Structures are given as C-alpha cells and as structure tokens.
Amino acid sequence: MEVTEQVAALAQRPLKRGDSFIVDFGRHMAGYVSFKLSGTGEAVDSPVRLRVTFGEAPADVAVPLESYTGTLSRAWLPDEILNVDFLPRRVEVPRRHAFRWVKFDVIDTSPNFAVHFERIEARAVTSAIMEPAPLPAGTPEALRSIDRVSLNTLRDCMQTVFEDGPRRDRRLWVGDLRLQALTNYVSFRNFDLVKRCLYLFAGLPREDGLVAACVYDDPGPKCGRQFIMDYAVLYIAALLDYVKAAKDQQTARELWPVVRKQVELVSQFINADGLFADPGGWWIFIDWREELEKTASMHGVLLFCLKQAVELAGHAGQQADAAKYQALIHRMTAAGRTRFFDSARNVFVSGPQGQVSWASQAWMVMSGLATPEMGAVALRNAMKMPDAVRPGTPYLYHYMVEAMLLSGLRKEALDLLSSYWGGMVAAGADTFWEIYDPSDPMLSPYKSILVNSYCHAWSCTPSYFLRGLQLGRTAG
Amino acid sequence: MEVTEQVAALAQRPLKRGDSFIVDFGRHMAGYVSFKLSGTGEAVDSPVRLRVTFGEAPADVAVPLESYTGTLSRAWLPDEILNVDFLPRRVEVPRRHAFRWVKFDVIDTSPNFAVHFERIEARAVTSAIMEPAPLPAGTPEALRSIDRVSLNTLRDCMQTVFEDGPRRDRRLWVGDLRLQALTNYVSFRNFDLVKRCLYLFAGLPREDGLVAACVYDDPGPKCGRQFIMDYAVLYIAALLDYVKAAKDQQTARELWPVVRKQVELVSQFINADGLFADPGGWWIFIDWREELEKTASMHGVLLFCLKQAVELAGHAGQQADAAKYQALIHRMTAAGRTRFFDSARNVFVSGPQGQVSWASQAWMVMSGLATPEMGAVALRNAMKMPDAVRPGTPYLYHYMVEAMLLSGLRKEALDLLSSYWGGMVAAGADTFWEIYDPSDPMLSPYKSILVNSYCHAWSCTPSYFLRGLQLGRTAG
C-alpha cells in the first residue's frame, strides 16, 4: 500500500459515479466508521449510493468481492451498501467492523453533483483498558515489533468477551480463550473479562454438562451448539490459569462441578489399557490439518488437563477428586509412553500408520508424558523430518513453542517464534492472523482469503512468551 | 399480483440463499419497514445478507433492478442491502421509503441455518391528520374510487412539506404545491402546512428575488437552485388560494413583496405589443412534452397569475400595485387574442408554426383571455385534432379539466377525469402516478419506469374537482 495523499485533501476532491479511494487509518481496530458527506455542483438532487469495504489486510480492499467463491457465507464479506438521502449529512456505518483500510466507492450520485468526504473518523472499541508494562530494556526491536502486533491482536479481540476474531466469527471459543487469557494476565490484566467468559461457558453447557466449544454473546448469551473434545477439557486449564493469575479461589470452588463433569465425560474414552480411544463422531480440533492423526494429541491434551485439574483441586478443596485423577494420570502416562513413543526413531507417533506430527510432539510434552529429555529429542527430530505433519495454525504453533520451552529448547523456541510470527510482521501484519503459512500466502480453510480473519486471538501469545516467560532474554 | 399466502405463514417458512418473497401491505404509504429476523438450523453461525426492495408499483419488485439503464441516478432505485450480525434481532430499515409491496431477497445465510421473518411491520408517516368529509351521497362508485386514490396520493405526499412524490424527489415544488394545496383545502385541511411551504419559498429565493422552482427541507431548508418561469408566478396563485381558504390576510400582507417581485421579474418579458416573448435561457415547464411550443401557454400563465395578483392585492391592501397590473392585463388580453387565436380553425395556436396543443387551449382559458364561449369551442376543436399536442402529465390534465369547467364543459370535464384518472384506477393504482399515458404503459421521462414516481402529488386533484367543485354531481 502506497500513501498517495493525506486524508484532509479528500474534502477538496469531488467524487462521482465510479470514483473510489482507500483510507488507511494507520492501525487495525475493531470499531465504527463515520464521515461527513456533502455535495457540490449544479444541484445536489438525488440520493447517493456508496459502497464501503473494510479491510483488515490490503487484499480485502484490493480484490473485488464479486470474485468471492469461498465456502463461508457471502454475508461475512466486509462491505456495506449505503444510500444517503439528503446532503450534507454525517453518515455512520451502523455495524462494527474490523479494519485498518477502508475503501469508499461512489456507486452513483446524479450527473448534477459530486460528493465530498470530510472528517472521516473511526471509533475503536475494546475492553483492554489498562496500558501494558513496557518490555524489559534490551529486548531486541524485532521482538518488540512482534510484541506490539500481539498486543494489538489481543486488544481488538477483547470486547464483551474474548472474541476469536473481531471480523469473524466474533465468538468466544474455549481454546482461543485460554491463549488470550494467558496473554491478558501479562498485559492488559482484565481479570473480570476472563471470569465473565468462564461463567458464560459454565452457564451454557450441552444438556449432559459438556462445556460448549463456543458461546455467543449477542444478542444475548447463547450456547454455540458446537462441541470439541479437546476444547471441553482445556476449560480446566483456562480456569486454573485464571484462579492463579487472579488469586480467586472462590471461583475455583464455584466452578469445580464443571471441572468434574468434563473429566467424567471425556475420561470415559480412556480404555482399559489407559489409552485414549477415539469413540468416533466427535470433533477433536488440535489443529487445522485434514491429514493430522489426532489420537496421541488428544491423549496428551486430556492428560495435561487432568494434571491441571489436580492442581485446581488444591485451590477448590477437592482432594478426593484429585486422588482419582492421579490414578488415571499414572495409567495414561505409562500406557502413553509405550503406545506413542517410537524408540527406533525417537519421536512420538500417532495412529495405526505411526504418523509423525508436530502436534503429537507438542502435546506429549505438554502432558508431561515425555520427560524434558525425551521431549527435546522428539521435538528436534520431528521438526527435521520433511514428512512430519506441520502446524496449520498459530494456535498449534503456540503449543509447539510452549512445548519447546518445557523441554529446555529456549533458543529453538525463540527462533520459531521469531521466524513464524516475525514472518507475519515482515509481511506487513498489524495484527496476527488466523492462518499463516509462509509457503502459501493464499491459504484459506474457506477456499478464499477474503474471509480469512487477520486479527485472530489464538495468534496473540508471543506477548505471553516475551512477558510471562521472559523469552526475550534468551535473545541476549 | 396474486396473493399466495397470508404473511403470518412466513414465520414458519425457512429461507436460505436465493430465496425471496414479496409482502403486500395492502395500501401505498410513505414510511418505515421493520421485521424480526431469527434463524433455525444446526447453527446460526454467520451474519445474514438481505436485499429489501420497495415497490410503489408491481413492476418495482418484479423487474430486476440490475437491468436499470435510466437517465436518473441509480441511487434513486428503491433497494437496500442489509447485513444483520446476530439473530434473533429486530431489523429496522432506516430510510423512509414509498411502497405498498416489499420484496425480501435472502442473499446469503450460511449453509448451517435458515432465516425466518416475523412481525413484518410498516409504520406510515404523514402530516395529513384530519379525516376528510365523506363524498356527497349518490356519488358513483367509480368516482369514489378516483377520490380515494387521490386522497391516498395527497396523504402520502404530505410530510414536513408537500412533497412532489414520497419516492422521488421528495421536494417541494411550486406548481405541485398549488394543486396539492387546492385539494388539501377540501380534504385534510392542514392550513399550517401550506403556510409553511409558502414561507419556505419566500425565504429561499434566487439572489434577485425570483421564487425557486423547488426547495429542500432536509437536512434543513435550502433553495433548490432550479428556476421555472411559470412556477415563479404560480406562487401568486398558490398564495391567493391559501389566503382565501385559510382567511389569513396577515400572510397576504407579509408575503406581498414576494408577489410584487415575481410580477416585476417575469412581466419584463412582455414586449411592447403586450405579448410574451421568450427571452431564451429559461426553463418554462407547462408540461413534459418536448415538442410542446410554450409561448401561448406562458402568456396564459402570466396573465392568469396577474389576475390572481390583483385579487390578492385586495386582501393585502395594495391597490396601487393592482392598478398597474390591471393595465398589463388589458394589454396582454387584447394582444393575446389577436396573436394566439386562429379564427380560421377556431383554436389557439402557439409559435411560428401555429402549433395546436391542449396546453395552449387550457392556459388561454385559465387566463380568461378566451371567453367561455371561445374556450369551449377551442377546447373541443383541439381535442378532436389528431395532431394536437396532448398532455404528457397529470399536471396538465388538471388544467385541462379546470379549463373545461371554466368553459362550461362540465360533462366533458367529468368524462376526461373519469377516463384519465379512472384509467389508472383500472390499472390497479393505489395512488396516482407522475406519468400516465394510456397508450404507453412503459413511458418514462427518465427512460426507465423503475424510477417513475407512482405517488405523485400533481395528480391528486380529482378530489379537488369532486369535493371543491362538486364535479361528481354532473354525473347524475
């Protein structure tokens, strides 16, 4: 994007049928756009028809939306058709949009007049009020940029809930919430918002008590009617993180029944051997990679969350439950080491074909099933294998970095963070994206980048690593 | 238009991408539409994109607007694109529209849900509050229908000003105002609205004092910057009508300077012979017929308005001005009879080619230049001539009917009214149209019927004739 003139000059420029311009607001935001529209000419004698298109990324305002052939609803495309009756008038686009660039197309005036745009304003909204502390002195500029973009991402996703993305789908998802909350604790520190989200999930479960994968908060709180096995148990981790960060044991006690219910519902899929066995018919997320074999990862997620539950039981005063979980943890750890570790190749494998993936390594480490030494070897080996299934989303990249840190691979973790998130910064990102594959800039799970979300909460965790885990110090 | 089901049944009908329906609100109105939109299905997981199209006439919702190639701005087309974020929600279309039929197109939901429309409501707005008196007993049903449609037309044009049409251009025009006000005096009797309009024109003239052809009232009162010679002097007639109907001599006195200025500015185009001589460069309206030669008509309009000014001078206490006008009236009457009457053919003619038109006859009669006997003969002769230029608009049909009444042709006047306005009723009109030519249903001054106005104030005067001039009694 090249700046051609300052926005104030627009007021002098008459625009007629077919004319257009793009305004760069200088930063990404979730918010509202308004402008004054006036007319000059022989007679301002008809309504004006405008199209306003909101771009998170330059492609959003550069690619004709008519070309859209993605799999998601066309209603996600971020454009508005506005008819304005009488000029001059202040026009407010009523919907909230996520944008940095806004394209204005004059579809039609009448032949007798042209329109002028003045005082084009954006009003950003967020519930990230507090100013984050500065990064430690000596943090390299490249990491400062990554931190800034991470915080922008989180800020614009923090609304009445932690949205996954302010463009799409503007929903609260368990898996995203956990990563946002972790970053929030070391930046904006809005504890009440996390608490509200935890209670929303607790209050809107499936009939049997399973935590929903997502909830809606508009026009009122509502269960999202989608259920993801790994997300349901990750609720436990999100709750423990909160209880520790906010020092709020009262909430731990109140929400303990939700924790117990998740363990009860999901641990039934641990078979007599102590292994996770996919019952079929469930959505197990882990990552967006169709080819990913998820058995080892799901085993790891559940084991990780059982350990979180044990720690949480201490805060909630639920030692009896904790003891039962400990027994399960032992069985799963022992069985998992045997089943998922390929001692010939020194990597964790999953499924009948022994698939190697970054996801399996990450979750074997996160769960503690891998010792740090095993983990370090497995992670390094898997990352060197060209056929290993790599992550599809920043969400899984987060757990890769976290697993590397747990395995003592600080330098490698920082390198991965710097190359992956730094790649988005180098590509001009203001906020981190839902999807990023350095080798495929047109990648979209929806078969069109026009509906990709370019401010997506699950990619905001570099600030957690840099601030909460002092990863930046590794750089020195 | 055929009714396929009752609107309540819609709430049960799921609608998805590409589905549409048309609601018939049972009557024309100017107003606002709102509805409740809800979703059903696996997950209501995306915004909804709708198109709402407002029809005054069935063609408005039956002809694809994409086919529009008219000369007016595309922004006049009565459709809205609405994006609705979260369901269920009440949706209000923010702009005022003129409609009886509304088409709803579902552009897209997501594959996971369908939408339902409930409680589709319209709120009509008007400043025509008072209930008109019933027509005299014994008025034939055909005339009652014409009266009803006339009053509907006037009602929907009465807003903060007398609009020419609530669809387009929603402006106050002098020529239209006079006809609306005449009808208003014998129906809704909102005298304050007329007074407001007269003062708007008085307060927003051209720099030299000429009354503008139109004014805008939104976002605030503003001169329309269009000037029509015949409309400027017809302001005098509109003022006199008001002063007599409202018995408001105070306004006559206050606005007399406006009257004097119009006479001064327009009478300079009366040459030494006492004839109107077109100075060129002026818009003289009279009617929408490109081929119409307007010299005789304009002579007649000015002479008519001078006589109105003389009568008004009596209310305003301006006898000195009146005496000057009388002198001009005598010269114009004598000169006009010589110049414009073709005694061989017994019709009034206009221009170097001696063009015969209904317009010339009408205004020669209206002006009193033609005696009732001359007028009756001339009107009958012209209407029989196949080559005579016929009216293009209901506006001129009004003056034809009025001229026929002045000439004692009550039966013929009623026949013309019954056939012309009755023709629109027979064609299904709820309100009378801007343009109607029984021989050409696709006629549009804008080269597309999609921007014709189907509720147009200058066609509302049948109620004036039936109520104010008791024309219906002629039927017996």
Q: Write down how long chain B is.
A: 476
- A90, A178: one domain: no
Structure tokens given for B271: 């040459």
- A120, A147: one domain: no
- B420, B370: one domain: yes
Q: Which long-range contacts (CB under 8 A, 24 or more apart) does A463-466 make?
A: A463/A132, A463/A147, A463/A150, A463/A151, A463/A154, A463/A183, A463/A186, A463/A187, A464/A179, A464/A182, A464/A183, A464/A186, A465/A401, A465/A402, A465/A405, A465/A413, A465/A417, A466/A135, A466/A139, A466/A143, A466/A146, A466/A147, A466/A150
DSSP A136: P
A82, A161, A389, B200, B212 from B204: Cα distances, Å: 30, 53, 75, 6, 7
Which A-chain residues 251-280 have CB contacts (< 8 A) with chain B? Answer: none
Average confidence score pLDDT of chain A = 96
Report the SS3 class of residue A59. helix
Quote the CA–CA distance of A372 and A366 in Å, as a whole number.
10
pLDDT tens-place string over residues A155-196: 999 999 999 999 999 999 999 999 999 999 999 999 999 999
Q: Do B75 and A107 touch (CB under 8 A)?
A: yes
Report whether A433 contacts A157 (CB < 8 A). no
Alpha-helix runs per DSSP H in B109-186: 141-157, 174-185
Report the SS3 class of residue B178. helix
Of A46, A96, A226, the CB nearest to B73: A46
Helix (H) or strand (E) holding B261: helix B249-267
State the nearest Cα–Cα gap between A293 and chain B, in angstroms.
26
- Residue A279, classified by CB atoms within 10 Å of its CB into exposed (0-12), middle (13-18) or buried (19+), is exposed
Tell me if A435 is assigned to some domain: yes
| Number of DSSP helices (H) and strands (E) in chain B, helices first | 13, 11
Through-space distance between the first and last CA atoms of chain B, rounded to whole angstroms: 34
Give, in degrees to the nearest 5, the angle at Cα B383 between B378 and B389.
100
Rounded to the nearest angstrom, the gap between the alpha carbon of residue A215 and the centroid of all alpha carbons in its chain is: 15
Q: Do B46 and A85 touch (CB under 8 A)?
A: no
User: A88 contacts in B (CB within 8 Å)?
Assistant: 219
Q: Do B47 and A80 touch (CB under 8 A)?
A: no
User: A80 contacts in B (CB within 8 Å)?
Assistant: 81, 83
Of A17, A88, A95, the CB nearest to B85: A95
DSSP A468: I
Tell me if A134 is assigned to some domain: no
What is the predicted pLDDT for the residue at A329? 98
Put simply, whether A446 touches B (Cβ < 8 Å) is: no
User: B75 contacts in A (CB within 8 Å)?
Assistant: 46-49, 83, 107-110
A40, A44, B123, B196 from B216: Cα distances, Å: 15, 10, 23, 13
Q: Do B169 and A45 touch (CB under 8 A)?
A: yes
| Residue A169 CB neighbours (<10 A) | 20
What is the predicted pLDDT for the residue at B136? 85
Tell me if B132 is assigned to some domain: no
- Please write down the HEC assignment for all residues of B395-443: HHHHHHHHHHHHCCCHHHHHHHHHHHHHHHHHCCCCCCCCCCCCCCCCC
Put simply, whether A74 touches B (Cβ < 8 Å) is: yes
pLDDT band at A265 (very low <50, low <70, confident <90, very high): very high
Helix (H) or strand (E) holding B82: strand B79-84
Q: Do A95 and B83 touch (CB under 8 A)?
A: yes
pLDDT tens-place string over residues A93-142: 999 999 999 999 999 999 999 999 999 999 999 999 899 999 988 899 99
What is the predicted pLDDT for the residue at B232? 98
Chain B residue with minimum CA distance to A169? B46
State the nearest Cα–Cα gap between A91 and chain B, in angstroms.
12
Structure tokens given for A341: 């570790």
User: B74 contacts in A (CB within 8 Å)?
Assistant: 17, 49, 107-108
Give, in degrees to the nearest 5, the angle at Cα A411 between A410 and A416.
95
What is the predicted pLDDT for the residue at B475? 54
What is the predicted pLDDT for the residue at A441? 86
Of A81, A85, A218, the CB nearest to B81: A81
Of B72, B83, B85, the CB nearest to A46: B72
Of B42, B45, B87, the CB nearest to A169: B45
Q: For residue A49, give the nearest of A20, A10, A17, A11 by alpha carbon.
A: A17
Of A72, A85, A169, the CB nearest to B218: A85
Quote the CA–CA distance of B8 and A301 in Å, as a whole number.
50
What is the predicted pLDDT for the residue at B74? 94
DSSP A40: E
| Residue B283 CB neighbours (<10 A) | 11
Report whether A312 contacts A243 (CB < 8 A). yes
User: A94 contacts in B (CB within 8 Å)?
Assistant: 94
Query: Cis omega before residue B192 (within 30°)?
Result: no
- Residue B130, classified by CB atoms within 10 Å of its CB into exposed (0-12), middle (13-18) or buried (19+), is exposed
State the nearest Cα–Cα gap between B405 and chain A, in angstroms.
37
Q: Write down how long chain A is.
A: 476
Report, in this order, helix, strand and coil percent for chain A, each rounded to 5: 45, 20, 40
DSSP B465: I
Rg (alpha carbons) of chain B, rounded to whole number: 25
DSSP A367: T
Q: For residue B224, give the nearest of B251, B232, B180, B178 by alpha carbon.
A: B232
Of A46, A225, A226, the CB nearest to B76: A46
Helix (H) or strand (E) holding B24: strand B20-41
What is the predicted pLDDT for the residue at A474? 67
User: B115 contacts in A (CB within 8 Å)?
Assistant: none
Report whether B475 contacts B450 (CB < 8 A). no
User: A46 contacts in B (CB within 8 Å)?
Assistant: 72-73, 75-76, 169
Structure tokens given for A38: 């006036």
- B87, B179: one domain: no
User: B219 contacts in A (CB within 8 Å)?
Assistant: 86-89
State the nearest Cα–Cα gap between A390 and chain B, in angstroms.
29
Tell me if B435 is assigned to some domain: yes
Q: Do A80 and B81 touch (CB under 8 A)?
A: yes
- A116, A240: one domain: no
Average pLDDT over residues A23-33: 98
Put simply, whether A111 touches B (Cβ < 8 Å) is: yes
Task: Identify the residue among B74, B89, B446 best suited for mutation to test binding to A, counting A beta carbons within 10 A and taking the highest.
Answer: B74
What is the predicted pLDDT for the residue at A138? 86
Put simply, whether B172 touches A (Cβ < 8 Å) is: no
Whether A222 shows a pLDDT value over 50: the answer reads yes
Sign of the Cα torsion A127, A129, A135, A136 reads negative
Chain B residue with minimum CA distance to A114? B73
Amino acid present at B261? K
Residue at token pair 């008590």: A209
Quote the CA–CA distance of B126 and B146 in Å, as a whole number.
20
Chain A residue with minimum CA distance to B219? A86
DSSP A22: E
Put simply, whether A80 touches B (Cβ < 8 Å) is: yes
Chain B residue with minimum CA distance to A44? B224
- Please write down the HEC assignment for all residues of B193-214: HHHHHHHHHHHCCCCCCCCCCE
- A146, A117: one domain: no
Report whether B243 contacts B249 (CB < 8 A). yes
Amino acid present at B411? K
- B247, B395: one domain: yes
User: What CATH number did the domain enclosing A46 receive?
Assistant: 2.60.120
Tell me if B2 is assigned to some domain: no
Report whether B430 contacts B27 (CB < 8 A). yes
Residue B307 backbone class (left: φ over 0; alpha: ψ -120 to 50; beta: rest): alpha
**A95, A124, A153 - which closes a domain:** A124
User: B17 contacts in A (CB within 8 Å)?
Assistant: 74
- B29, B120: one domain: yes
Which A-chain residues 192-251 have CB contacts (< 8 A) with chain B? Answer: 216, 218-219, 224-226
Tell me if A133 is assigned to some domain: no
User: What CATH number did the domain enclosing B344 receive?
Assistant: 1.50.10.10
Buried b (16+ CB within 10 A) or exposed e, A83-93: bbebbbbebeb
pLDDT band at A475 (very low <50, low <70, confident <90, very high): low
Chain B residue with minimum CA distance to A106? B75
Q: Cβ contacts of residue A324 below 8 Å, gap of 6+?
A: none
Report whether A416 contacts A474 (CB < 8 A). no
Task: Identify the residue among B73, B105, B227, B283 best suited for mutation to test binding to A, counting A beta carbons within 10 A and taking the highest.
Answer: B73
Whether B44 shows a pLDDT value over 70: the answer reads yes
Of B75, B83, B219, the CB nearest to A48: B75
- A29, A101: one domain: yes
Beta bridge partners of B39: B115
Put simply, whether A387 touches B (Cβ < 8 Å) is: no
A246, A434, B357 from B303: Cα distances, Å: 89, 76, 18
Average pLDDT over residues A279-291: 96
Residue at token pair 């009808």: B183
Whether B476 shows a pLDDT value over 60: the answer reads no
User: A16 contacts in B (CB within 8 Å)?
Assistant: none
Helix (H) or strand (E) holding A232: helix A229-246
Task: Identify the residue among A40, A44, A45, A283 best suited for mutation to test binding to B, counting B beta carbons within 10 A and taking the highest.
Answer: A45
- B84, B217: one domain: no
- B167, B93: one domain: no
- Please write down the HEC assignment for all residues of B342-366: ECCCCEECECCCCECEHHHHHHHHH
Higher pLDDT, A172 or B475: A172
Of B48, B49, B89, the CB nearest to A219: B89
What is the predicted pLDDT for the residue at A476? 47
State the nearest Cα–Cα gap between A263 and chain B, in angstroms.
26
Amino acid present at B136? P
Tell me if A468 is assigned to some domain: yes
- B107, B149: one domain: no
Give chain B's domain count.
2
Tell me if B337 is assigned to some domain: yes
Alpha-helix runs per DSSP H in B22-63: 58-62
What is the predicted pLDDT for the residue at B243? 98
Put simply, whether B40 touches A (Cβ < 8 Å) is: no
Beta bridge partners of A283: A228
Average pLDDT over residues B421-443: 94
Chain B residue with minimum CA distance to A89? B219
* Residues of the domain holding B310: 141-475
Put simply, whether B73 touches A (Cβ < 8 Å) is: yes
